[in-house]
Amino acid sequence: MTDLWNLAGSGIEERVAFAAEVRDMVWRETRRRMGYGEGKGPHSVNALAPTSAAARRLHLIYMEVAAEVGFAARQLVDDGAARAGRAGASYAQLGEAAGNLSRQAARKRWPEAVGTHWVLYTITGKEAPHGRTTSLYRSAEKAVERGRTAVDEGALTDDGAIAAVVVNSAREVVWACWFNDTVWGPEETELPEDLRSVPVPEAPEHADWQQRWEQFVSSRP
């Protein structure tokens, strides 16, 4: 369990206040489950006689609620670790965010959070200006499947996908396709050399790559 007083950095008062809010939430839910109405029942978790049957029931329900809060919080932490890993966070950063876990402990807890991932880029909309979307996947096969499906179904709507590429964690294009009006379906294509390496989204060259990719798709026969 993380000790709020021993967490590195500033903001101790904010953390303590947040913990108090969580306790209040647990107490409110405990009262609700026990059937106490507004202004009814004990005013605090320790208001009943310590050895009474009523106190035993209250404390057990309080534990039940607190355990559910802990489970939900752990799930939120796991979800956050997966998303942070997909966004490029390291195990050291995940451990720090989770309460100063060691890098090894973070790797053990989230063994698949950091590592290889694939980014699916799509161009959307039949008419200019086109839109663009990005999605991240842990499986290359799933990224390609989603890309092909998006392009295949893109003809059904005006804002559907007209082209897609899948990029690995080294920022190299491993698959690309576009919607071929002649065969009325997605067609895989080889990108020119200058489009096979994709700059990171934070780089100024990233927008230029997207524009040149769109021009390449628009020039297809």
The pLDDT of residue 126: 82
The pLDDT of residue 137: 87
Tokens linked to 162: 């007209």
Model confidence pLDDT, tens digit, residues 202-213? 888 999 999 999
Tokens linked to 168: 């690995």
Residue 143 class from Cβ within 10 Å (0-12 exposed, 13-18 middle, 19+ buried)?
buried
The pLDDT of residue 170: 80
- Rounded to two decimals, the pTM is 0.54
The pLDDT of residue 10: 53
- Number of residues that this document lists for the chain: 221
The pLDDT of residue 115: 75
Cα of first residue to Cα of last residue in the chain, in angstroms, is 62
Tokens linked to 142: 């799933």
112: DSSP letter: T
Whether residue 129 is preceded by a cis peptide bond, meaning omega within 30 degrees of 0, is: yes
| C-alpha radius of gyration, the chain, whole number | 26
Domain ranges of the chain: 4-109, 118-218
Give every residue of the chain whose pLDDT is below 70, as ranges.
1-10
As a whole number of angstroms, the distance between CA 24 and CA 18 comes to: 10
The pLDDT of residue 197: 94
172: DSSP letter: B
Whether residue 201 is preceded by a cis peptide bond, meaning omega within 30 degrees of 0, is: no
Model confidence pLDDT, tens digit, residues 71-103? 999 999 999 998 888 777 888 899 999 988 998
Measured CA angle at 17 (ends 37, 28), to 5 deg: 15
The pLDDT of residue 1: 44
